[in-house]
Amino acid sequence: MPGSGLRAAGLELLIGSAGPALGDIRAGGLAARYGVRAALRSGGLLCLASAGVLAAALPALWRYDPRTDPHAAAVRAAARVGP
């Protein structure tokens, strides 16, 4: 689909710039209210929970094997041929 690479780049830029700022707000707010240890623990638990949710929501990531994926094989073959 034309332009999908630009949309993906825009989404990556948004997440890359907003994600750390939101994390700083979360950590600072929790640290101010409950202490630094609680902020660190909650950040670790949130990270583990997010990874678990993504793993459950996207099971194809567990099954992905670049050795047998047709797209990865085509990219490797094109790289061997060169420009």
Q: For 41-67, write each residue's pLDDT tens digit.
A: 999 999 999 999 998 998 888 888 888
**pLDDT of 77 over the 80 cut:** yes
pLDDT at 83: 62
Count of other CB atoms within 10 angstroms of residue 26: 14
Contact between 14 and 2 (Cβ < 8 Å): no
d(CA 31, CA 37) in angstroms, rounded, equals 8
Task: Work out the mean pLDDT of the chain and round it to a whole number.
Answer: 86
Binning pLDDT at 50, 70 and 90, where does residue 3 land? low
Q: How far apart are the first and last CA of the chain?
A: 24
pLDDT at 60: 85
